Amino acid sequence: MRLVLASNNAKKLGELGQLFAPLAIELVTQGSLGVAEAEEPHHTFVENALAKARHAAAATGLPAIADDSGLCVDALGGDPGVQSAVYAAFTPEPGQDRESHRRAQDAANNALLLQRLSGVADRRASFVCALIALRSADDPQPLVAFGRWHGEVLQAPAGEGGFGYDPLMFIPALGTTVAALPAATKNAHSHRAIAAAQMLSLMRDAWHL
């Protein structure tokens, strides 16, 4: 089965490609098929993932899969939530490439999160991933998987790997931040890995893969 990933993120393609390796699925990005990214106007991860999957399926006529993910901090009422990637107001420098822009946005997001948690004792948080798969844009039975990876927000970044909030997210069960984990360990334990494991089971059962 050829499955369209409703994202143009090469890292996400590689990560999900490995997670779905047990199934006979060819995963391709929507960008490689000329499909622009969808709007994400909703307040929940599930609604945004569904909107992205429907957009990709409608544009390509193929089954589609989409995820929406982010960081939810207990003491902030679940923020940054669906706004995780654009939590801090940020204007890119003229001529700045996509990767440089992402790194600068990440740094601004982390700084704002630390500012809003200044003096807050409860640092509990979770990385959250909603993963949705559709056979067609009007599929009445979308497959929905959800993963949570529990941790705590540190007072300062630690670790050189990962992206986004990884340097601030300490995972007690692993004794380190996400940014300090080897890629293979992160992929085995992450919120996306938890959701993907659920999705594998759902696809086998509902789609007979």
For 46-66, how does the pLDDT look when each residue is reduced to its tens digit (9 = 90+)? 999 999 999 999 999 999 999
Range of the domain at 145: 2-206
CB-based contact 145:198 (threshold 8 Å): yes
How many structural domains is the chain composed of?
1
pLDDT score at 165: 97
Share of the chain above pLDDT 90, in %: 74
Question: Tokens 């193929």 correspond to what residue?
Answer: 62
pLDDT score at 20: 82
Structure tokens at 46: 């599930």
- CATH number of domain containing 16: 3.90.950.10
Per-residue confidence at 175, pLDDT binned at 50, 70, 90? very high
**Residue 166: active-site member:** no
Q: The pTM is what?
A: 0.91
Per-residue confidence at 76, pLDDT binned at 50, 70, 90? very high
Q: What is the DSSP string of the chain?
A: -EEEES---HHHHHHHHHHTTTSS-EEEESGGGTPPPPP---SSHHHHHHHHHHHHHHHHSS-EEEEEEEEEEGGGTTTBGGGGGG-S---PPTT--HHHHHHHHHHHHHHHHHHHTTT-S--EEEEEEEEEEESSTT-SS-EEEEEEEEEEE-SS---SSSSTTTTTEEETTTTEEGGGS-HHHHHHHSHHHHHHHHHHHHHHHHS--
For 87-99, how does the pLDDT look when each residue is reduced to its tens digit (9 = 90+)? 998 787 777 787 8
Average pLDDT estimate for 183-209: 92
pLDDT of 101 strictly over 90: no
Candidates 67, 68, 106, 166; catalytic one: 68
pLDDT score at 14: 80
